[in-house]
Chain A
């Protein structure tokens, strides 16, 4: 069976491309074909992982002249393929419900195939090809509704970052020893010295920017929030994970053992992303931007796990490396599923209520009960509440961090302690963001008439949401099973050590150590709930009386405002005010401008809130300034007098001749 896994997976890539070709004629084929391929692929991936994931390679008869492309499959790519298939199936099922698929529909299966190619790549050329095809397909998907200037700006920034990623990954692969040599060859020659350092920096910049690691995360919220629902679910749930896969493949697998300080940039970037993403998730007013910022946070958490694994491997503590890597992979699966769920739910919300803006939503729990319930389940994962999948992943990551100081070195230990505090801060901030998202967007009273008349999502979307809720629930209750599927990958990268006990229902940081038993916690909660419910029935009077909201005697709303004055409800900006003042002003440079009319004036008062992401200020705006000054310089060169032009040319000529002379000398 396992001999057929790689040819089968290659055929799936081909089938996606066929679906894309068919959808040029009938757009619906894109989602339908994608769904069928994903379902088959998920089964294939599970079977392959359960069979122990024997490594296989396949040389394709296509590629650059004289250099055929190589495909490879092992435990690591199998695990990520499974996630891709699950998220892809849900996204395609949701896309089936679109009454009028956008003109960009054929790009959906192409996007899936590109991510699959990236995961199956067996050489550098194929990896970069998949990576860039993935960027290009998702760039087109972002432009599905290109009417607004905001969408075009987001897509342009996204394309720029994708090119930047390629510009980093290609030299990184070249430094690894030939960017079209098969990985099996590269593995034999791990880089050393300055080459290793350059590879680390380039991979972190190239793959990290695609995954949304700080400080190159700025493109992510606008791109993910402007793509249509299924595409954004794929981008956040699967594409960021494919970027992490490239990071793991290049840094863990191909670079071999490296010194301990390699972990430091990963830990620092991970902790910074976690806090920055979670804090920004509290400030954004667009529900999809909130979710995108929380993606940055979760990518940061996973990267912390990866950094710890690198440090532990450098210290020859393979059990700890296995623990950290296993925790990271578990959270990859958990986050991929629940973030896809939340993005699909946000897409359904936008479709049903006509807006993504928090301050124009509200009260959707009455009009969109299924979507709201799905969003609640997703928000519980986002807030890492037991027994959800988010809690299982973050519990394992915390165990890795708590065991981290054993790698030794006071500096490293203090760094890990600070990282632990920042992780906890990020998790608590994510919980606040989840409460804000649900509380403002889905509970309370409607804030606009359009939202008061919102429509529930259609059956395909509802099934996609419920499927993802069920998958998240399973991951939350049986995280050990997920780790069992990750076992081949851990064996590959952490020397076969799997200290996270995956037998049975216990998730524990080692054998013989007490751990986390999600099923027991769920049963305990159910028992407590049943006890409360039974006692309330026995002891208390039944039924209730309906009345206008008490609201400290505020009084009933006037007749022309059937849901009350929307302005008397808490707004998104109001909810985040304490966090904005305490943390936002320092980290995000948030400041408020209050325009209060003098007594006697009848114009409205206004409160303006401005945010400035530090990465935007220090990197992107700086690049913009350099570009301006460079183009100013070039502009001046254009209008030089003929004498000056000639003297510039002569100077350049002399300098080059001098250079040639010096080179000849050496």
Chain B
């Protein structure tokens, strides 16, 4: 009986989690935009503006290039589905959701790669040069971000003994690992990866309107209407996913257990909102203070992340005489 109850609670937490992420993702983008505008001395759009944009786009019929194939039509849904699947695996307010047994960090990375490849292919589908530029740069950045991400996962797996995100968060929350230099280095590397993966400054400018400087926007240049709405929602979800991932791994405090009373979920929710809020503020401040990099400087930026992650792993070997 209690097994069934646990299962139902885990499922309920999972459904709530996905609904929460989808609802909150555009709001997060709105908050970041608003704070950035305020920091620059502008009034800025209201927080709900991204949601309004999404609804407006959904009401518009897409205009599709004449030589588009089925892949162009299917890509936005597939991209959003892959991001949604990855987001379902990253805990927000509760650990031990229904997806916890297979919430593997490598799988999450793989699902994000799947979403990236789908969008890059869609960018090349029409045969416009901007799609090519965007796809080429996106895949190049990923080639440098992926080793850093794997080394961060390596660091965590060495400390905890598994690549399962839920187990990692649980162990780190109990403080069994303690404060470690390696964790700090991994956090810095993770932030750099997140900036590159979500197309934020200094890697890509989310507000750019100059085609040649864009990466993500260049790939989706041909999309409009409902297709564009899906891609924008996916982009917002990806940002929220990365912030949640950082919060879950490095600040796993206050997260509820899905098996606990739903009242505890509220506490977990409050903690999650606070963590994401702080991260969003930090992101806005960082983006306001920094300029975009030249394309060929980005590999150096991500190379630093790789080196930091290597350092994190080697420090672990040296400090605990890992055997």
| Chain A contact residues, CB within 8 Å of chain B | 362-363, 365-366, 376, 380, 383-386, 391, 395, 398-399, 401-402, 405-406, 408, 410, 413-414, 417-418, 420-425, 427-429, 431-432, 434-436, 438-440, 443-445, 509, 513-517, 520-521, 524-525, 527-529, 531-533, 536, 539-541, 543-552, 554, 563-564, 568-570, 574-579, 581-583
Contact = CB atoms under 8 A, between A and B. Distances in A.
A424 B151 contact: yes
Contacts of A436: 136, 139
10 contacts: A365-B71, A383-B113, A399-B163, A425-B146, A521-B85, A528-B85, A529-B81, A531-B84, A552-B211, A575-B132
B204 interface: no
Contacts of B102: 514-517, 520-521
Contacts of A445: 67, 127
Contact of B317 (A413, A420, A514, A529): A413
B157 A402 contact: yes
B147 interface: yes
B149 interface: yes
B125 interface: yes
Interface stretch (B32-40, B257-265, B272-280, B306-314): B306-314
A305 to B, nearest CB: 15
B69 A365 contact: yes
A549 B126 contact: yes
A444 B128 CA distance: 8
Contacts of A410: 317-318
A503 B136 CA distance: 41
Contacts of A383: 113, 117
B147 A428 contact: yes
Contact of A524 (B85, B126, B221): B85
Given A408-B323, A444-B126, A524-B88, 13 more contacts: A365-B69, A383-B117, A395-B106, A395-B107, A417-B151, A424-B149, A428-B147, A514-B104, A528-B84, A541-B59, A547-B63, A570-B129, A570-B135
A575 B136 contact: yes
B47 interface: no
Nearest to B323: A408
A47 B107 CA distance: 33
Nearest to A505: B102
A532 B81 contact: yes
B111 interface: yes
Contacts of A554: 128
Given A569-B127, A581-B296, A435 B114 contact: no
Nearest to A524: B85
Interface string B56-79: 001111111111111101000110
Contact of B121 (A443, A539, A570): A443
B85 A444 contact: no
A529 B313 contact: no
A549 B65 contact: yes
A516 B106 contact: yes
Label chain B's interface by main secondary structure.
helix
A528 B211 contact: no
B67 A363 contact: yes
A540 B58 contact: yes
B98 to A, nearest CB: 10
Interface range for B: 35 or more
A569 B136 CA distance: 13
A549 B67 CA distance: 8
Label chain A's interface by main secondary structure.
helix
A489 B85 CA distance: 36
Interface stretch (B172-180, B223-231, B241-249, B285-293): B223-231
B80 A532 contact: yes
Contacts of A516: 102, 104, 106-107
B222 A551 contact: yes
A540 B317 CA distance: 54
Contacts of B145: 428
Nearest to B115: A385
A329 to B, nearest CB: 19
Given A443-B69, A514-B167, A552-B221, A386 B130 contact: no
B254 interface: no
Contacts of B296: 578, 581-582
A39 B62 CA distance: 49
A547 B322 CA distance: 62
A549 B127 contact: yes
A402 B295 contact: no
A549 B222 contact: yes
A572 to B, nearest CB: 10
Contacts of B306: 421
B214 to A, nearest CB: 11
A432 B140 contact: yes
A417 B313 contact: yes
Contacts of A524: 85, 88-89, 99
B128 A578 contact: no
Contacts of B299: 578, 582
Contact of A570 (B124, B140, B229): B124
For A513, A544, A563, which residue has the most chain B Cβ atoms within 10 angstroms? Answer: A544
A143 to B, nearest CB: 36
B132 A406 contact: no
Nearest to A403: B157
Contact of A513 (B61, B77, B78, B162): B162
A406 B136 contact: no
For A427, A517, A532, which residue has the most chain B Cβ atoms within 10 angstroms? Answer: A532
For A395, A401, A424, which residue has the most chain B Cβ atoms within 10 angstroms? Answer: A424
